[in-house]
Structure 1
Amino acid sequence: MEEQNAARISNLEKEVVKLIQEEKELEDQLQLIDHLQQLGVAYHFKDDIKDALESIHGSLEDTSKLLKDNIHATALLFRLLRENGFDVSEDMFSRFKDEKGHLKTCLQHQTKGMLSLYEASYHGKEGEFVLIEAMDFTTKHLKKLMEEGSLEPRFREHVAHALELPLNWRMERIHTRWFIETYQREATMNPLLLELAKLDFNLIQIMHKRELKEVSRWWTDLDLAQRLPFFRDRLMENYFWTVGWAFEPQFWSFREMQTKLVSLITVIDDVYDVYGSLDELELFTNVVDRWDVNAIDKLPGYMKLCFLAVFNMANDAGYRVMKEKGLDIIPYLKRAWVDLSKSYLLEAKWYHHGRTPKLGEYLDNAWTSISSPLLLTLAYCMSDDLTEEALRGICKYQDFARWSSMLFRLYDDLATSKTELARGDVPKSIQCYMHEKSVSEDVAREKVRELIRVNWRALNGNRTSSSPLEEYFKRVAINISRMAQFYYEHGDGYGIPDGETKNQVLLLFIQPIELEIYTTNKVV
Structure 2
Amino acid sequence: MVPRLETKWFIEAYEKRNSMNPTLLELAKLDFNKVQAIHQEDLKYTSRWWNKTTWDAKLTSLRDRLVECFLWAVAANSLPPFSPLRRILAQVIAMTTTIDDVYDVYGTLDELEQFTEAISSGKAYLKEAKWYNSGYTPTLEEYLENAWVSISVPLMLTHISYLTSVTPTEEIMHSMERIENIIRYSGIILRLADDLGTYTDEMARGDNPKAVQCYMHETGATEEEARMYVTTLILNTWKKLNKERSTILDSQILKELTDCGANLGRMAQFMYYDEDGHGSRPDITKYHVLSLLVNPI
Normalization by structure 1: what TM-score? 0.55
Q: For residues 293 and 169 of structure 2, what CA distance do their matches in structure 1 show?
A: 37
1:426 corresponding residue in structure 2 = 208
Q: 1:272 aligns with which of 91, 103, 108?
A: 103
Give, in angstroms, the shift of residue 382 of structure 1. Answer: 2.3
Q: For residues 392 and 174 of structure 1, what CA distance do their matches in structure 2 show?
A: 31
Give, in angstroms, the shift of residue 373 of structure 1. Answer: 0.9
2:45 corresponding residue in structure 1 = 214
Pairwise mapping of residues 42-441 of structure 1 onto structure 2 (< 5 A)?
170-285=1-116, 287-288=117-118, 337=120, 340-393=121-174, 394-441=176-223
Give, in angstroms, the shift of residue 509 of structure 1. Answer: 1.1
Give, in angstroms, the shift of residue 385 of structure 1. Answer: 4.1
Question: Are the aligned partners of 1:415 and 1:488 in contact in 2 as well (CA < 8 Å)?
Answer: yes
Q: For residues 273 and 369 of structure 1, what CA distance do their matches in structure 2 show?
A: 14
1:55 corresponding residue in structure 2 = none
Give, in angstroms, the shift of residue 179 of structure 1. Answer: 1.4
Q: For residues 38 and 172 of structure 2, what CA distance do their matches in structure 1 show?
A: 30
Q: Which structure 1 residue ranges, 4+ long, deviate > 6 Å from structure 2? A: none
Structure with more relative contact order (C-alpha pairs < 8 Å, separation 6 or more):
2
Q: For residues 133 and 173 of structure 2, what CA distance do their matches in structure 1 show?
A: 38
Q: For residues 271 and 17 of structure 2, what CA distance do their matches in structure 1 show?
A: 30
Give, in angstroms, the shift of residue 274 of structure 1. Answer: 3.0
Normalization by structure 2: what TM-score? 0.95
Q: For residues 221 and 42 of structure 2, what CA distance do their matches in structure 1 show?
A: 47
Q: For residues 276 and 175 of structure 1, what CA distance do their matches in structure 2 show?
A: 43
What do residues 267-290 of structure 1 show as CA deviations (whole Å, max 9, x unaligned)?
1111112334322101212x33xx
What do you get for the CA RMSD once the two structures are aligned? 1.3
> Aligned pair count?
294
For 1:363, the aligned partner's letter is L
What do residues 503-524 of structure 1 show as CA deviations (whole Å, max 9, x unaligned)?
10011111111xxxxxxxxxxx
Aligned-pair identity (%)? 45
Question: Are the aligned partners of 1:348 and 1:425 in contact in 2 as well (CA < 8 Å)?
Answer: no
Question: Are the aligned partners of 1:385 and 1:469 in contact in 2 as well (CA < 8 Å)?
Answer: no
For 1:397, the aligned partner's letter is I
Give, in angstroms, the shift of residue 232 of structure 1. Answer: 1.1
State the secondary structure of the residue aligned to 2:179: helix
Give, in angstroms, the shift of residue 496 of structure 1. Answer: 2.5
Give, in angstroms, the shift of residue 392 of structure 1. Answer: 3.5
For 1:195, the aligned partner's letter is E
Q: For residues 467 and 365 of structure 1, what CA distance do their matches in structure 2 show?
A: 29
1:471 corresponding residue in structure 2 = 255
1:493 corresponding residue in structure 2 = 277
Give, in angstroms, the shift of residue 475 of structure 1. Answer: 0.5
Question: Are the aligned partners of 2:275 and 2:281 in contact in 1 as well (CA < 8 Å)?
Answer: no
